Chain A
């Protein structure tokens, strides 16, 4: 190793280290508390990862811009304790590794105060495993998936779910099937992953038996398609078919059945039941007419509902998304924004990450939101909405309440019974601006 001469590359390397060394002398001493990044007296920033493009984007890509639209409305009306609330949106294309890198960016580079509304089971499983927001004390609010495993305060102390769990949905839809279609042959198409597994557990709990139960691997619905499953349902003589898949799978199933001359009573799971998205995927509204589904928010066509009316107004004026056609995805996003603002108010003026988590645990179950079913937040439960109402799709593709009025059913993700709830939603605060 003798007779080494100095090369330009070497000198550059040494110079760079020297520069680093010099720069170290000027590292600013303005240390901020780790847990209180992302908030100042005038702003608080949250981040969301969501499929804004790619296979899962249709429909889901409307949620985050809608939430930001609601927050812009709040910001124009003074913010929360004087703080403007920002939602940084990152596109994860529904890919777990991308969700991790985008969440890392939000936390490390954008230095968000917390996460809000991140969407997807597989993607968020990866985030929780790799980044573990709970260990870092970072609020991980309103995760948009019904996977029941995320409601686990011991394992994920800062994670709060938003949608009713798929187990709850299975239990409640199972009750509907028993009461409305006694003696009928029922089949189910489910996504063969945590989503479908949760749902099947709920149906099992409800005592539902299927004449045919077929899964599809996530991503396989377009190739090779769902012909084998639909053919099996038809061969089994199914009168009722539950579609517990994503919108693209449900759409392919309905279209395939139409081609095969198979017209059962469809029951659409909430994940793949947004009519606007199904229509955008090429499913005529006529094929949806009479299908049944469930929701925890008011019907998007219920203009008498004060939240729906106000959110529509806010959507028109503030939503800067590429597609702000009013639908359930917009409603979900607006309501998520409102729930976030309500939580920030509950945490008080001196906002801390720990304080926000505590506020949700202490007061989250009483928040005034558009949800027609109760929120399940407490110190021992981080479950979001805990029930559904049933409805049927009309000729325009609107889900309208069965029997003309909302009947609320609630349950849990365990062995609790499905009950008809007497829950009365708190009145909407004036102009849908939380005042708690």
Chain B
């Protein structure tokens, strides 16, 4: 749920923070009504502190045209992460304000006469309502500094997309258009629904000692959660090492149900794919396209290409996606359990035969055939499910949800294979819009997708992640051009009250690299809605 879980995201954060740190000193004494401002090279930048202590920043160029882009950043971990965790290890909680998705995008907007602004929020973790309050204070401060402001565009990514929707829902008349990107929609519960499938599936098949939910309060629970992250990475490491032969992690042998699958000769990679399919995880990931094998496919001596492509590649994509999503899923669950005071993950009513559906046919070879599928589904049926605490769920449901109403021009963008916030979140919004049968152009959706083939393998034929992942894959892994396309669309909507004609939107899909050109594309819906 964060655009910070990828290396690219971390790089963006680092560059943004560096730019801020080298240019503007954040005031040590907060004054909500009076940010500190500085003007250089024609750009006025201000930094301030909101009424609840949230840091904020905004900038506008000398040729400011009256339109502000208000950026809502995504989920940031509310706890420090141990250094040993891959990719995000060593993270320290930060509340640095973020006025744009990247420095390049910020420069592009400022350079073309727009203002930019964003808060760092007073509290990290899942706290969208506090963020809404902070963001509205930023808008007020910006308008006070730049009274010529006429239009405000709300945009944001991941949890920031959710906050964007809440901002518009709760403040009618304030925003002229919005762009929730790689967004969480409806409520956080819809995303926790598939997080439960993934974590429970990993526990059931690969390591029964994974706690998964019901973390203790405070530091003890933090230790449990960090321990779970470690266990999942150990299991994933073993799965990756044995992916071609289907070796099971040693930890799986402690599970009597999984032991039956091992005894039956079902490859561990098939069980891993099954975990992905019950949750709705994409089989394509940031580095693996889910359909390529090692070596030259046209070489007749490369007999293993198709076996790898059909039987192994989908599991490889799921493996990387779980690695990307697991830290986030565990921390979000820990975060919300602490807030709600009890267990919130619940798969007690999930029908996993139905959830797999036709995918059992599509991925039959990778799942090792009907008999193996039946065996794995028997395990899913027999394994004890998780039930949430009613009081905690009631508190969770009482949190604000987004309406899905499109009352101002709205532009969405989502990676088809987002492993953390599934694209079904944006499809939910699209479905809501289409159900209104609006005659005007008020909604446009851009779906990004990687190239057809982008997996890399070592000379020995092993999966290779040393290459940079292509843009348009992963969670919020958008290019600057894609962000700017959305920004252009949102500005058009803000100025005109409607989005450009569908033909123009389609022209953009076909022109800007990385967009699916399919204007009728429906991404897989979240299992909870099926």
Residue ranges of A at the interface with B (Cβ–Cβ < 8 Å): 1-7, 9-11, 13-14, 16-17, 20-21, 23-24, 27, 31, 53-55, 93-98, 101, 104, 107-109, 121-122, 125-126, 128-129, 132, 135-136, 147, 191-194, 196-197, 215-220, 222-223
Contacts and interface: CB of A to CB of B under 8 A. Distances in A.
A223 B306 contact: no
Given A97-B291, A125-B358, A194-B361, A132 B522 contact: yes
B369 interface: yes
Interface of B: 16, 19-20, 23-24, 38-41, 43-45, 57, 59, 99-100, 103-104, 106-108, 110-112, 116, 283-284, 289-291, 297-298, 303, 305-307, 309-311, 314, 358-359, 361-365, 368-372, 452, 480-481, 484-485, 488, 500, 503-504, 507-508, 511-512, 517-518, 520, 522
Nearest to A194: B361
B369 A1 contact: no
Contact of B23 (A2, A93, A109, A122): A2
Nearest to A21: B488
A330 B321 CA distance: 43
B40 A23 contact: no
Given A2-B45, A217-B369, 16 more contacts: A3-B41, A4-B43, A13-B108, A13-B480, A13-B481, A14-B484, A20-B511, A23-B511, A24-B507, A54-B297, A93-B297, A97-B283, A97-B314, A219-B310, A222-B303, A223-B307
B500 A129 contact: no
Given A4-B43, A94-B310, A122 B365 contact: yes
A126 B362 contact: yes
Given A14-B111, A197-B370, A20 B512 contact: yes
A9 B484 CA distance: 13
Contacts of B484: 13-14, 17
Given A53-B297, A96-B362, A194-B364, A1 B45 contact: yes
A98 B291 contact: yes
14 contacts: A2-B45, A4-B19, A4-B59, A4-B110, A6-B107, A13-B480, A24-B508, A27-B504, A31-B503, A107-B518, A125-B358, A128-B358, A217-B372, A218-B365
A122 B297 contact: no
A21 to B, nearest CB: 7
A132 B523 CA distance: 11
Contacts of B310: 55, 94-95, 219
A374 to B, nearest CB: 28
Contact of A2 (B39, B111, B364): B39
Contacts of A129: 358-359, 362
A109 B517 contact: yes
Nearest to B44: A2
Contacts of B362: 96, 122, 125-126, 129
B520 A24 contact: no
B291 A193 contact: no
A6 B61 CA distance: 12
Q: Which 7 A-B pairs have the closest CB atoms?
A: A217-B369, A2-B45, A192-B369, A55-B306, A97-B291, A193-B364, A3-B40
Given A3-B23, A20-B508, A108 B517 contact: yes
A93 B150 CA distance: 55
Given A2-B43, A14-B112, A109-B517, A220 B59 contact: no
Given A121-B361, A220-B369, A17 B517 contact: no
Contacts of B41: 2-5
Given A20-B511, A109-B517, A216-B369, A1 B361 contact: no
B108 A14 contact: yes
Contacts of A31: 503
Contact of A55 (B23, B290, B307, B371): B307
